[in-house]
Structures are given as C-alpha cells and as structure tokens.
A = this chain, B = another copy of it.
Amino acid sequence: MWQLFYFPLCPFSRKVQLVLSEKKVPYTLQLAYPWEDDDRFHALNPAGKTPVLHHAERRLVLIDSQAICEYFEETESKSPLIPGSAAARAEVRRLTALFDDGLYGDVTEPLIYEKMKKRLILRQSPDSGVLRAAMRLTHEHLDYLDWLIDNRRWLAGAQLSLADFAAAAQLSVIDYLGGIDWSGHEQSHGWYRVMKSRPSFAPLLSQKMEGLPAPRHYADVNA
C-alpha cells in the first residue's frame, strides 16, 4: 500500500491526497514535519520536502506533487485529471503551475511562515505588513479565478481537472490560516464550495495542525 508522508498544512500533500482519493488509490498517512529531524523521511527524500509517496513492497518512492500526479494519471485510467487534447492538457498544466508556484509563492508560503512557523516553531509574532501584502495578492488571484469561472465550466475548461484540485488545495490552506475574504468573489466562492463538498475533500477538512486551530467556518461545506 502507498504511504504518504505529509503534514496537515502542506498544500502539495493536499493536492496529492485529492488526486489519490479521486482516483480511488488506497493510501495511509504518515506525519512528517520537514523542519524536524526524521531520519526515515530524509532517507526517502534528501530534499526534505513533503509530499513523498512510498510503496515499500514495490520499492517505489515518488517525490514532487506534480511528478506524483502525472504518475497516477499515467497508471490509473479512472477519473482522468489531465484530460483532452495536447493543447487542453497544456492548459491544465499551465494553471496547475500557476497555483503551485504563483498562488503558493504569493500567498500560501508567506502565510504558512507568518502564521504557522512563527507561532509554532519560532515563537514570534507575524509581520502585519507581510500579511497585508498576502491578503492583497489573494484578491488578485481570486479575481483571476472569478474570470476563469465566468468563462469556463471548470478552471481549465469544460472538464474538472488537476487545475481545480491544485487551486483548491492551496485555497484550503489559505482558508485554514484565515487568509480568505470572499466578498466580491461570488464565482470563486461558489466554485470552492462545490470543491469542498466532494468526498475527496472531507479528509482535508478534518486534518488539524496541532497548536493551531482552524477558524470555525473552515470545515463547513456551506460556508
């Protein structure tokens, strides 16, 4: 069986969990905090980053969320998440990279640092200037999401795809950290409620980061 090394607020582990659930691939979870000395985890991934997916019986170690998703796209025909023509697939991958790199770098990463790492590890107060900049950039990203949803059924086109799961994974962490104000983003909010209601999303809504409670609305699929 596959074993996923993750921590609750790792957006890339969340992306992989969503894909494994959508494709009905069974797996177990193994907590691994990249900032802690964990010999077994670091032996699997010298880069020390989650997610890592390990299959002991098959002696397989998969690293990097996109490499993992492409692997299951190639090996599991159920629920294709990079569907369509080569051009349609390029659009799914463009948007997935935009959320994995752009939304993560602009918003998720600074929020994780300011609100999680400073509180739990460094015992420092968050920098309000950084938080304000992240909130501003969240609105810019949500504006773009609104535009996509105004023009397409799902983010990358007519079909639900990896782009939707990559975006929802980032937004779920941002929401956990109190970084989303949906006002003025009805389209994105509606789309996110639909994503949140999928059975594959339920495990994410129950995963809690110790010492850092989620806001009350976080796990409410109607909020």
Contact A64 B93 (CB under 8 A): yes
**Could you tell me the distance between the alpha carbons of A63 and B74 in the complex, rounded to whole angstroms?**
22
A153 interface contact, C-beta 8 A: no
Given contacts A87-B60, A102-B47, contact A94 B74 (CB under 8 A): no
Task: Say which one of A24-32, A65-73, A114-122 lies at the interface with B.
Answer: A65-73
**Could you tell me the distance between the alpha carbons of A19 and B101 in the complex, rounded to whole angstroms?**
22
Name the prevailing secondary structure of the A interface residues: helix
**A102 cross-chain contacts in B, Cβ below 8 A:** 47
**A182 cross-chain contacts in B, Cβ below 8 A:** none
A164 to chain B, nearest CB (A): 16
Contact A98 B47 (CB under 8 A): yes
Number of identical protomers = 2
Contact B67 A93 (CB under 8 A): yes
CB neighbors of B among A162-205 (8 A): none
**Number of residues from A at the complex interface, CB < 8 A:** 24
**Could you tell me the distance between the alpha carbons of A93 and B71 in the complex, rounded to whole angstroms?**
9
Contact A86 B90 (CB under 8 A): no
A117 to chain B, nearest CB (A): 17
Contact B93 A66 (CB under 8 A): yes
Chain A residues near B (Cβ < 8 Å): 46-47, 60, 62-64, 66-68, 70-71, 74-75, 86-87, 89-90, 93-94, 97-98, 101-102, 144
Sample (25) of A-B pairs whose CB atoms are under 8 Å apart: A46-B144, A47-B98, A47-B102, A60-B87, A62-B90, A62-B94, A63-B94, A64-B93, A64-B94, A66-B66, A66-B93, A66-B97, A67-B93, A67-B97, A68-B90, A70-B89, A70-B90, A70-B93, A71-B86, A71-B87, A71-B89, A71-B90, A74-B89, A75-B86, A101-B101
| Seed contacts A63-B94, A67-B94, A74-B89; 16 additional CB < 8 Å A-B pairs | A46-B144, A47-B98, A64-B93, A64-B97, A64-B98, A66-B93, A66-B97, A67-B90, A67-B97, A68-B90, A70-B89, A70-B90, A71-B89, A71-B90, A74-B86, A101-B101
